[in-house]
């Protein structure tokens, strides 16, 4: 028989939902900063939201929130917050900043918000080994990298277009905390990205080239390691069939 659920268990579980819901407030503060073109503040609040997003899932699974509060969906709550912090705010910042000028900024924003909405509706977004299937709408990281390295308008637009198309491709993208393969390396790279990004944010992106290069390198690892693992697996399978 299942273990009885006490009121203390319910309040403890609900506090985890409140932690997740706090992301909406960090998103609100981030939107205000973006509207006022305070980019470092905007990414700072997004960083707080990202930290909450990183810790609430493991805590919820440890507390077994879904069993204790079956009428409250942590997944739905998480996706609501994520769409704001991973999609809407980065798209608005991209438009507001002028990194992609002219009509292309509207096209880029449309690609981001529409493809991301469709992606969140896809029940196959995660594989059985916890990879994301398709680009996992990590537009906050993409747009942050744009602010750090300042690509040309055309280069930025082409990257947006590629990621938007990759949303619907059967390409694996790593989940930094849940994918077991190369987890240690991935966590170290994620930590390095976080440190470099924090330094860049606190200095309003006025940082040495090696920090910008580090942000670009760690971002490329996080975006590409899933596809690299997927390709390596296919090569191994091909060799086994051939032998």
In the numeric block, which tokens belong to residue 211?
A: 């920090």
Total domain count, the chain? 2
> Rounded to whole angstroms, how far apart are CA atoms 96 and 34?
8
Quick one: 79 and 173 in the same domain?
no
Note the pLDDT of residue 241. Answer: 80
The candidate with the shortest Cα–Cα distance to 212, out of 141, 150, 152, is 150
Per cent of the chain over pLDDT 70 is 98
- Residue 3 reports pLDDT greater than 90: no
Average pLDDT of the residues in 24-33: 96
- Confidence grade of residue 57 (pLDDT, cut at 50, 70, 90): confident
Residues 119 and 232 in one domain: yes
Same domain, 198 and 170: yes
In a domain, 93, yes or no: no
Residues 229 and 122 placed together within one structural domain of the fold: yes
| Torsion angle of C-alpha atoms 19, 20, 26, 31, degrees rounded to 10 | -160
pLDDT digits (tens, 9 = 90+) for 29-56: 999 999 999 999 999 999 999 999 888 8
Q: Are residues 70 and 106 in the same domain?
A: no
Are residues 118 and 22 part of one domain?
Answer: no
Question: Which residue is it, tokens 């909406």?
Answer: 24
Give the separation between CA 161 and CA 45, rounded to whole angstroms.
26
What was the pLDDT predicted at 208? 96
Report if residue 114 sits inside a domain. Answer: yes
Q: Among 87, 120, 152, give the residue marking a domain's end.
A: 87
Question: pLDDT tens-digit profile of 116-167?
Answer: 999 998 888 889 899 999 999 999 999 999 999 999 999 999 999 999 999 9
DSSP assignment string, 183-198: HHHHHHHHHHHHHHHH
Select from 60, 87, 114 the last residue of a domain.
87
* Closest among 82, 80, 64, 207 to 141, alpha carbons compared: 82
Average pLDDT over residues 61-79: 85
User: Domain boundary residue among 87, 122, 142?
Assistant: 87
Please indicate, yes or no, whether residues 79 and 104 belong to a single structural domain of this protein. no
For the whole model, what pTM was predicted? 0.89
For residues 111 and 25, state if they share a domain.
no
Question: Of 179, 207, 211, 195, nearest to 47 (Cα)?
Answer: 195
Domain that residue 66 falls in: 1-87
Q: Are residues 102 and 82 in the same domain?
A: no
């Amino acid at each position: 028989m299942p273990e009885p659920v006490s009121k203390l268990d319910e309040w403890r579980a609900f506090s985890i939902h409140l932690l997740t819901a706090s992301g909406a407030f960090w998103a609100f503060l981030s939107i205000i900063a973006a509207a006022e073109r305070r980019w470092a503040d905007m990414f700072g609040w997004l960083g707080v939201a990202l930290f909450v997003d990183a810790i609430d899932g493991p805590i919820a699974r440890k507390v077994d929130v879904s069993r204790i509060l079956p009428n409250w969906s942590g997944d739905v709550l998480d996706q609501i917050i994520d769409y704001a912090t991973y999609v809407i705010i980065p798209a608005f910042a991209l438009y507001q900043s002028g990194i992609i000028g002219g009509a292309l900024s509207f096209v880029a924003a449309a690609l981001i918000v529409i493809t991301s909405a469709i992606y969140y509706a896809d029940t196959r977004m995660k594989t059985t080994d916890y990879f994301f299937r398709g680009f996992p709408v990590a537009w906050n990281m993409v747009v942050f990298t744009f602010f750090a390295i300042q690509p040309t308008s055309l280069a930025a637009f082409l990257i947006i277009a590629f990621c938007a198309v990759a949303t619907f491709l059967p390409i694996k993208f790593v989940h930094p905390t849940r994918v077991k393969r190369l987890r240690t390396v991935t966590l170290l790279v994620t930590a390095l990205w976080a440190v470099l990004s924090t330094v860049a944010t606190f200095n309003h992106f006025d940082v040495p080239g090696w920090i910008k290069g580090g942000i670009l390198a760690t971002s490329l690892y996080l975006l590409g390691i899933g596809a690299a693992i997927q390709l390596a697996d296919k090569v191994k399978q091909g060799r086994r069939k051939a032998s």
